Amino acid sequence: MNNSTYFTYGTDYGRITIVSNGEAITQIKHEGKLKPDGVKEETALIKQAADELSEYFSGKRREFDVPIKLRGTDFHRSVWEALMTIPYGETVTYKYIAEMLGRPKASRAVGQANNRNPIWIIIPCHRVVGANGKLTGYDGGVDMKEKLLWLERGKK
């Protein structure tokens, strides 16, 4: 039995869907990037996540308090946890994350884990760039990645 709930919100950064298992947020994606399963309902937990994202988008929040639950392989979870250590407004490379995890040759695997990030913004995969500093693939598009980095650098 699926006990998840979801709700979709419009933001200045596009429509986003937030999914909860009742205890934590399990997914946040751009609308159309996931097919939510469960009941469409704005719960208190989903509303908290939406409010925190709204504060982030307005430049008033740098860290999130809403509980999250990561589902993925051990490697994916280790990458996502590493992403959450990247300071607000800064960028690192895929190679940096691979080295941080003690797997210096795993840059591509880090990129694949980034691509499977289930919780947009809170797990800041937009802060990871290519080895040459160029903005590379992002679930919401490279333009969105650039907008988020500009936001974090105070250049909204």
Return the active site residues: 125
Dist. CA 6–CA 135, nearest whole Å: 30
Q: How far is CA 72 from the centre of its chain?
A: 14
Shortest CA distance to 127 belongs to which of 70, 80, 77? 80
Q: How far is CA 148 from the centre of its chain?
A: 11
H or E stretch at 40: strand 39-40
The token duo for 111 is 């990129």
Residue that has been written with the tokens 């996931």 in this structure: 34
CB 146 within 8 A of CB 135: yes
H or E stretch at 29: strand 25-30
DSSP 85: T
